[in-house]
Amino acid sequence: MTYLDYAATTPMYPEVAAAMLPFQAGTFGNPSGGHAAARAAKTALEEARERVADALGAGPAEIVVTGGGTEADNLAVKGAARAARAAGDGVVTTAFEHKGVLAPCDRLERDGFRVTRVPVDGAGILDLDALEAALDERTVVVSVMLVNNEVGTIQPLDAVAELVRARAPRAVLHTDAVQAVPWLDVAAAAAPADLVSVSAHKFGGPKGVGALVRRRETPLEPLIEGGGQEWGLRSGTVDVAGAAGMAEALRITTEHRGGEVARIAPLRDRLAAGLAARVPGCFVNGDPERKVAGNCHVGFPGVEAETLLVALDRDGVCAAAGSSCTSGATEPSHVLAAMGLPRDAALASIRLSLGYASTDADVDTALDVIARAVERLRPTVTAAR
């Protein structure tokens, strides 16, 4: 199997599985308790919290362990907006955020907030002028992703932060950094943000665990209330094994990031160049100069992505298109639509995403399989139209 869907999820590092095992099979205490069993779990949780905090450039008290990236996004966007309701009603985001941010913004809009979805350009970068125009004194939340989940483009967060500080001094700045961790030093890149979402399974950690970095005691209204765990922001017994796994995955990722980016970028470039050379009409989505090393988002005119993905799967290549809904059907991409790609081109585009276990051989296989599949699918589709 040739796995080219790292942006969807990544295989767990063996070290992560090993780091989690003691808390799944042995140290079972509830970290909120007061006895020896509880203390062992609590110690492990707090160690994990410190390591996560270090890697993300925050203090341990600034880490809220969540049930994943989407929960972190929800807590950030809805939590910050609702906590600031008295101060204002403006919520500003981009048109091509992850659904984990867009859906909470839709919810806030139904609840009476003014939501502005800032347009993005054809290269996959948000329009800073439009952002500036959307900000005002009554803006309470600005949410701009660090790296887009489909086309991999890196957003100019420093410039965003500057505009927010100047134009919307009351606003909390959130960034969804879920796709950034394997490729960027999030501690530095997301430094200007008050709130930062990450998700462990995107960098070799377990599914169902994430974190929200919350700087400067940014006021948040919790989504899940109960026993008051995680500074009262996320009640419920914390997944100790998950937190330990996330910390270990983050350690490995941070340690090897420089080398991995240097190794994978040329693989990705070879994949993109190879496809361009072998498949006439092949086009790239998202500015290649401003995207993360693992992202290769390409389109093949005249080929339906949904059909192509089945053909690739049957030949052992795992890739994706659009954003998969729970039913597994491919939905037309709101990201590509926001970038102004015509519907036909969007429906002809697929995402190939590389990661830490990707090899030269994977690229060779992918080039062969994809080029052959496109060639096979093209005449039939054309003839049928």
Is position 325 annotated as part of the catalytic site? yes
CA Rg value for the chain = 21
Residue with tokens 């993300």: 56
Which position among 217, 225, 331, 344 is part of the footprint of another protein (CB under 8 A)? 331
Q: At its nearest, how many Å lie between another protein and the CB of residue 309?
A: 8
1 binds another protein (CB under 8 A): no
Distances (CA, A) of 38 to 23, 42, 44, 237: 12, 6, 10, 11
Task: Tell me the number of residues near another protein by CB under 8 A.
Answer: 19
From 191-199, 261-269, 357-365, 377-385, span contacting another protein (CB under 8 A): 377-385
- Shortest gap between Cβ of 303 and another protein (angstroms)? 9
Quote the CA–CA distance of 284 and 264 in Å, as a whole number.
18
Beta carbon nearer to another protein, 12 or 309:
309
Closest CA to 66 of 207, 161, 187: 207
- Structure tokens of 28? 């079972």
Our CB check for another protein shows the closer of 112 and 328 to be: 328
CB-nearer residue toward another protein: 185 or 315: 315
Give per-residue burial for 249-283: e unless 16+ CB within 10 Å, then b.
bbbbbbeebeebeebbbebbebbbebbeeebeebb
Distance CA 250, CA 55 (A): 7
One residue of 26, 35, 216, 327 binding another protein per CB under 8 A: 327
Residues 337-356 interacting with another protein (rule: CB under 8 A): none
Half-sphere exposure of 106 (CA within 13 A, CB side): 8
The closest of 82, 35, 44, 85 to 245, measured between CA atoms, is 44
302 Rama class: left (phi>0) / alpha (psi -120 to 50) / beta: left
**Diameter of the chain measured on Cα atoms:** 72
| 325 contacts another protein (rule: CB under 8 A) | yes
Q: Which stretch binds another protein (CB under 8 A): 145-153, 234-242, 275-283, 376-384?
A: 376-384
Q: Which of 150, 117, 97, 122 is nearest to 341 (CA)?
A: 122
Q: Determine which helix (DSSP H) or strand (DSSP E) holds 141, and give its type and residue range.
A: strand 139-143
375 binds another protein (CB under 8 A): no
Active-site residue identified among 105, 282, 296, 325: 325
| Residue 5 within binding range of another protein, rule CB under 8 A | no
Contact 10, 355 (CB under 8 A): yes
Cβ at position 329, least distance to another protein in Å:
4
Is residue 167 a contact partner of residue 135, using CB atoms and an 8 Å limit?
Answer: yes
Quick check: 330 binds another protein (CB under 8 A)? yes
Find the shortest distance in angstroms from Cβ 30 to another protein.
Answer: 33
List binders of another protein among 160-179 (CB under 8 A). none
User: Shortest gap between Cβ of 350 and another protein (angstroms)?
Assistant: 14
Sign of the four-CA dihedral 153, 98, 150, 68 = positive
Nearer to another protein, 331 or 360 (CB): 331
Contact call for residue 359 and another protein (CB under 8 A): no
* Partner residues linked to 331 by β-bridges: 323
Out of 25, 36, 361, 384, which residue is the one contacting another protein (CB under 8 A)? Answer: 384
- Candidate ranges 152-160, 170-178, 321-329, 362-370; the one touching another protein (CB under 8 A): 321-329
Question: Does 376 contact another protein by CB under 8 A?
Answer: yes
Does position 380 bind another protein by CB under 8 A? yes
Query: Which part of the chain contacts another protein (CB under 8 A), choosing from 43-51, 105-113, 273-281, 325-333?
Result: 325-333
User: At closest approach, how far in Å is the CB of 362 from another protein?
Assistant: 21
What does the per-residue mask of binding to another protein show for 291-320, with x meaning CB under 8 A? Answer: -------------x-xx--xx-xx------
Per CB under 8 A, does 328 bind another protein?
yes
Q: Rounded to whole angstroms, how far apart are CA atoms 119 and 184? A: 24
Query: Interface with another protein by CB under 8 A: which residues?
Result: 304, 306-307, 310-311, 313-314, 325-331, 376-377, 380-381, 384
Q: Which residues are catalytic?
A: 325
